[in-house]
Amino acid sequence: MLRYIAKRIFLMIPVLLGISFVIFLLMYFTPGDPAQMILGDLATKEEVEALREEMGLNDSFFERYFRYMGDLLKGDLGTSYTTKLPVWDEISARLPVTAKVAFFVIVFAVLIGVPIGILSAVRQYTIIDSITRVMALLGITMPSFWFALLLVLLFSVKLGWLPASGLYGPAYYVLPIISISAASVAIITRTARSSMLEVIRQDYIDTARAKGQKERVVLFKHALLNALIPILTVVGIQFAGSLGGAVVNEQVFAIPGIGKLMVDAIKARNYPLVTGSVLVLSLLQSLVNLFIDLLYAFVDPRIRSQYSRSKKKTKALNGAVTAGAGTAAGKGE
Amino acid sequence: METKNKLLEVKDLSIHYFTDEGVVRAVNNIDFELARGETMGLVGETGAGKTTTARGIMGLVPNPPGRVVSGEILFEGKDLLNASKLQMRLHRGKDFSMIFQDPMTSLNPILTVGDQIAEVIRLHEKLSHKDANRKAAEILEMVGIPAERMSEYPHQFSGGMKQRVVIAIALACSPKLIIADEPTTALDVTIQAQVLELMRDLQEKLGTAMLLITHDLGVVADTCNKVAIMYAGQIVEMGSLENVYDNTKHPYTKGLFGSLPSLSIKSKRLVPIDGLMPDPVDLPSGCPFHPRCPDCMESCKSRMPVKTEVSPGHYVRCLRCE
């Protein structure tokens, strides 16, 4: 297992390299001049040119890229153009806010989405199921910023129950969490429903019932655990998505997170800050994916045996069975 | 048959599925009984209603869309159809249990084999976790799997081994009745023989009655005391093995035997029964077999034959025998 984790972490390096190159390329071709932005409209051409030279903006693309990567290897993400602070300091000040919101969002989405999905599957074709499916469709198709604005209009402007912006206490979290999680709740509900529907038709569910097992235990022990892999997958994607996708909603609610930091940085053509934020978010996303993959192994013994196939003991024990196990686990993924 | 010896009595049982396409009449007015320790074969084509009958007895007809529309299922004299959900749950696994068709899919892939056997023991016997596991190990040994393999998962077993585990689960609480739904269909022929022999041995040892669902007349001849032939949701012929095999009355049963290859008679082709099984949503009028029957009479098209006892214990549903 440790070998597997080490391998996966090692494999993140080329992924991050690729991302850094693409984001660097995008920023290179983005119109606008950071030096002009810093100095303002009144600056003379000579002043701008001098600053460009000083910032190294006149060097070729590859010179700049390799300089950046060289610094990165030393653990230096560069300096923000606007605040002159190290990029890492800027990010590390904002990241916990975004991470906190994303965490609450995913917990909320799982707590709401999974039970509703299960209920909907167990009561397939009933009125509960129909309502759930319509709500889920609504949750997925509705743009979250629009939903956020509607919530603000109702609860902050009209009713005055909840604050509309900022993040100064528990009440401030309510509207952002509801609006950001709407899509996640919907997707998790749908996945939980379809995954459960598939599992509750399996023979081993009937075997459990034929043992005289309680329906509740049949559903939660036998069915849900088997239905968990697809649910885990979307939970992982949604969590990573709410980390990176906070960009728009942080604007709506004026949350001082990494999403707002990035939008401001893009507006100011603050290249190091944009690149740094994207890299950090990508790294986080990769780590979440790895964590989810490890959870698969925790849930499903077929995947577990695939990860630890290097162990001699299992190999000797299984003999010819291993080949079959491999394909079964492959399907499970 | 003496009354106290009767374990299971099914009377006039009908199970229908109510679907958007119409009412699927899967099981129609079937009667049979099973004594303690007896083995009955339930034979028929795919879709004849064998599995639905089995699920009806277990109380596991998927509802919706399925529903028992009439009849009684008496187990030791008590009607299972009037039993509460809780009573049924206490019966299942303890008094009667079921072996499903496909061993590949009837074990939970994420629980160890030992856990799955111990689960049924813990449900019905007041044993500690440890004792339940010890008993599970004994049962595993009984079906011919070393107890060390308790902690392994189903994917680490072959098909025949999995079916042994399924049998172990079914027998764990020494039930009085086992319903085996085509227990060997998904297995290799060589493994089939082993599994059948194992089931027969254990059945004798434990005195369990068995309802063996199959479409293999050879398996029935090997294993059963009694046999019932099902067609389109009805039992068309039922009796002791000798009655049905040597004194075949119903044209469908004759057709089934006729379609078997024979070692003694040289023939180039097997003889199939003409036509197809009728759609259970739209069963033919009169005798459901009449469109395929070689001995069809005019009255067969309009009148439903009733169950007739042609010789003691040998029942046939055919107008020619009435």
**What interface predicted TM-score (ipTM) does this complex get?**
0.85
Beta-carbon separation of A226 and B110 below 8 A: yes
pLDDT exceeds cutoff 60 at A237 = yes
Give the number of domains in chain A.
1
Q: Is residue B135 part of a domain?
A: no
A314: confidence class by pLDDT, cuts 50, 70, 90: very low
Q: Is residue A114 part of a domain?
A: yes
Q: Which domain holds residue A174?
A: 92-270
Report the pLDDT averaged over residues A269-298.
88
A71-118: per-residue pLDDT in tens?
888 888 888 888 888 888 889 988 888 888 889 999 999 999 999 999
Backbone angles phi, psi at B58, to 5 degrees: -75, -15
B273-312: per-residue pLDDT in tens?
887 888 888 888 888 888 888 888 888 888 888 888 888 8
Q: Is residue B160 part of a domain?
A: no
Report the pLDDT averaged over residues B222-251.
89
- DSSP annotation of A94 reads H
Nearest Cβ partner of B106 from A204, A226, A299?
Answer: A204
Q: How many CA atoms lie within 13 A of A85 on its CB side?
A: 9
CA distance linking residue A69 with residue A73, whole number of Å:
6
Give the helix/strand (H/E) hosting A162: none
Report the candidate in B34, B160, B13 with the shortest Cα–Cα distance to residue B95.
Answer: B34
Give the number of domains in chain B.
1
Q: Compute the radius of gyration of chain A from its Cα atoms.
A: 25
A309: confidence class by pLDDT, cuts 50, 70, 90: low
Q: Is residue B108 part of a domain?
A: no
Q: Is residue A57 part of a domain?
A: no
Q: Is residue A26 part of a domain?
A: no
Nearest Cβ partner of A226 from B97, B108, B158?
Answer: B108
Q: Is residue A226 part of a domain?
A: yes
Distance from CA of B201 to the nearest CA of A (A): 22
Show residues of chain B in contact with A301, CB under 8 Å: 109-110, 112, 153, 155
Residue of B nearest to A332 (CA): B109
pTM: predicted TM-score of the whole model, two decimal places: 0.79
Distance from CA of B220 to the nearest CA of A (A): 24
Q: Is residue B284 part of a domain?
A: yes
Backbone angles phi, psi at B231, to 5 degrees: -145, 125
Beta-carbon separation of B92 and A204 below 8 A: no
Judged by a CB distance cut-off of 8 A, whether residue A298 touches chain B is no
pLDDT exceeds cutoff 50 at B246 = yes
Q: Is residue A277 part of a domain?
A: no
Q: Which domain holds residue B47?
A: 3-95+175-321
Percent helix, strand and coil across chain B, each rounded to 5?
35, 25, 40
Residue that wins the pLDDT comparison between A245 and B66: B66
Q: What CA–CA distances, in Å, run from A154 to A60, A139, A181, A182, B297? A: 52, 18, 18, 16, 78
CB atoms under 10 Å from CB of A41, counted, come to: 6
Query: B90: domain CATH number?
Result: 3.40.50.300
CA distance linking residue B110 with residue A21, whole number of Å:
42
Judged by a CB distance cut-off of 8 A, whether residue A317 touches chain B is yes
Query: A199: domain CATH number?
Result: 1.10.3720.10
Residue with tokens 């980390």, as numbered in its chain: A243
CB A87 within 8 A of CB A78: yes
Q: Is residue B130 part of a domain?
A: no
User: Chain B: which residues have CB within 8 Å of chain A?
Assistant: 58, 60, 64, 89-94, 97-98, 100-102, 105-112, 116, 119-120, 123-124, 152-153, 155-158, 166, 169-170
Report the pLDDT averaged over residues A176-204.
91
Q: Is residue A53 part of a domain?
A: no
pLDDT exceeds cutoff 90 at B3 = no
CA distance linking residue B91 with residue B73, whole number of Å:
13
Q: Is residue A326 part of a domain?
A: no
Residue A326, Cα to own-chain centre: how many angstroms?
29
Q: Are strands B96-99 and B177-181 parallel, antiparallel or unpaired?
A: parallel
Mean pLDDT score of chain B, rounded to an integer? 87
Q: Is residue B107 part of a domain?
A: no
Among A121-125, A145-149, A279-283, A312-316, the range scoring the smallest mean pLDDT is A312-316
Residue of A nearest to B118 (CA): A211
Q: Is residue A41 part of a domain?
A: no
Sheet holding B22-35, edge to edge: B22-35, B6-19, B66-75, B78-79
